[in-house]
Amino acid sequence: MKKIPLSLTVNGNPVEALVEPRTLLVHFLREQLDLTGAHIGCDTTHCGACTVDLDGRSVKSCTLFAVQAEGATIRTIEDLAAADGTLHPLQEGFREMHGLQCGFCTPGMIMRAYRLLQEIPRPSEDDIRAGIAGNLCRCTGYQNIVRAIAFAAARLNGENLQEAAE
């Protein structure tokens, strides 16, 4: 099959590649760029495990062709922690608030929460629940995920972390 040139920015790095037109963005990220944080859960946009940030919006990379990302800027879970290993407040929140169990949904959940906090820096519990509604977790019951996102919001806003945790 004929390959198409693709040029985009992933995690701040320019990327040029050749891809088959039918290659899904999640497969491109995982197989060609070795960025395996976006998980393949359903291939139907139902679970959200493959969520990445594309040009300032959350997208489920399992139903987007890589060629549709031509010229785009993509951020994946691999880019959230600082270069020295310091966790992003969302990653810290998921750890501190026990917002994960098996961890399969966690990268997509964190990436959706990342965009949510860009859109609503001080979200209410209802805002958080509505914001992550398109991402499924089969383990946690969501309460600790909501707490983790509230923790991160407080941290990002310089607010009292103890109050956010309650």
Q: Is the pLDDT of residue 153 over 70?
A: yes
Report the C-alpha gap between 98 and 107 in whole angstroms.
14
The arithmetic mean of pLDDT across residues 123-151, rounded, is 95
Report the C-alpha gap between 160 and 155 in whole angstroms.
8
pLDDT in tens, 7-49: 999 999 999 999 999 999 999 999 999 999 999 998 788 999 9
**What integer pLDDT is reported at residue 51 of this predicted model?**
98
| Identical fold between 4-79 and 89-160 | no
Domain range annotation of the chain: 4-79, 89-160
**What integer pLDDT is reported at residue 166 of this predicted model?**
54
pLDDT in tens, 106-117: 999 999 999 999
Q: Give the CATH number of domain 4-79.
A: 3.10.20.30
The arithmetic mean of pLDDT across residues 51-58, rounded, is 98
CATH number assigned to the domain with residue range 89-160, chosen from the 4 options 1.10.150.120, 3.40.50.10860, 3.30.70.2190, 3.30.70.1380: 1.10.150.120
Both structure tokens of 133: 């509604």
